[in-house]
Structure 1
Amino acid sequence: MNLRKTVLAGLLLSPLWAMANMPVVASFSILADITREVGGERVSVVSLVGADQDAHVFQPKPADVKKLAEAKVFVANGLGFEGWISRLSKSANFKGVTVTASNGIKPLAAAEEDGHDHADGHDHGRADPHAWHNPQYVMRYVDTIAAGLTKADAAGASYYRARAEAYKLRVKELDGWASAQFAAVPQARRKVLTSHDAFAYLGARYQIRFMAPQGVSTDAEASAKSVAQLIRQVKKEQVKAVFIENMSDRRLIDQLAKEAGAKVGGKLYSDALSAQPGGRTYLEMFHSNVMALSQSM
């Protein structure tokens, strides 16, 4: 055996090479990015729901079933975010490690917590799945994902833990920066109108009141009554911060802002990353959201 073949054989037999491309499927783009940060070079991550796409209305295709069937790890958010997840897992006959990133996080109940509101109180008692908008919870996501990857690849335990700790430091730093940004905004002005109720965790973390015509999922249309009530509320409270979301149809929020005499001030990243600068990673997305919100308020 020549030297080249000897080196190649050694690489193929090494634990790092063997697991360098462990196939991992994430349910949507934000989770895929966090999983790549933790998994590094040992994993190959694909996202079922891509950038600027809405996971609430996603319908798995045969190609998605195939991706999951070939994966070793499936990372999902949980809290009811992926209504299609059980059907997909069953169709793929998935036998690998399933990681529920939100495991252990107590969910907020929609329209029942400080920081967000609906015009007619719809979605009362329904779990809000958008926990990634609180960086403190993202740090828990990271630990859960690291544990799941380790379960499937025990040889990479120290590697995943080191990357997880490094990434959590960056998330913690971002959280501290966000707190300082919002602290400069008077409490009375921390009111925001968005497309759907995706920011309750961010609102609870930084004492911001979010209003939305739609509930925690975009798959249900806002009623005419709720829109009318919300218009009156926006007028009464003189809400200045009005935003569309990168994965939502902007027509409803445009109509609502026009009738309320408000102006749409920009875009927030809620349920998906973006292919455009400003929202290509979780850290970038969160930074962009905080800048947009704090400046508009």
Structure 2
Amino acid sequence: MTQPDKLRALLAQDKLHVMPCCFDALSAKLIEQGGFGLSFMSGFATSASRIGEPDLGLMSYTEVVDSARNICDATTIPLIGDGDTGYGNAMNVRRTVRGFARAGCAAVMIEDQLAPKRCGHTPGKEVVGRDEAFDRIKAAVDAREDDDILILARTDARHNHGLSEAIDRAARFHELGADILFVEAPKTVAEMRSVCADLPGAKMANIVEGGETPDLSHAELGEIGYAIAAYPLTLMSAAMRAMTLTLQALAEDKPRDPMLMDFVELRRRIGFDAYYEASSAYKSSFRST
């Protein structure tokens, strides 16, 4: 089964799929080891981890696709890639979608923000006009003629234009062929219910701890009607907190063991055990390790 087919099979289930978001190959491996069925390569987290900069359009298309390829090579669960605004006009969107498909992604997200885009829960974001927004999704859908991949269509219109405009845009995205709809940053449970009641197909919620959208339980999100609940910053935030606390302990010459993963488990999760098992079939392997 291809990665797009795996994702289609998940979306066909009448349930909420909890989707922790990754930012590199290792975090993606941990998500798969944790038993989760899919992941999303968070643009916010990937920009922070790869180039140490905020998610404000600073990371290039080539860098993003390279990160997606590394993640897909390291895991077997479906990955949704963050295609941002498509990196240009409609023809650039087509290239972006093909690039993510050929990197191994099951789906790619294309959004209607004005470039350079911003995190959906930070100030200053704006969206392009309807015609340009629709052209982006049409171009993304057209690109599937050459490479099979699902399209996650995102609108940030709620921020400046209200929920009705966001829902209208998302409805048109569905008509154009988008597989998953993402109305970013509804501010209340009532708005979340409107998104799911008024729009067809699979919908995704984006849960940012401390963000604008209510952080509901999985049961509540499923009852409202979401098919996917994305957690874009949870793992990166946890990792950054753990690293800063450990660095503080190291600087103060305090015990670090309580904050560290056991070395045996660390090696296993990275893949040392699997490597040695596979390489044991080749007599010369251990001379080069």
Q: How high is the TM-score relative to the length of structure 1?
A: 0.26
Q: Which has the larger radius of gyration?
A: 1
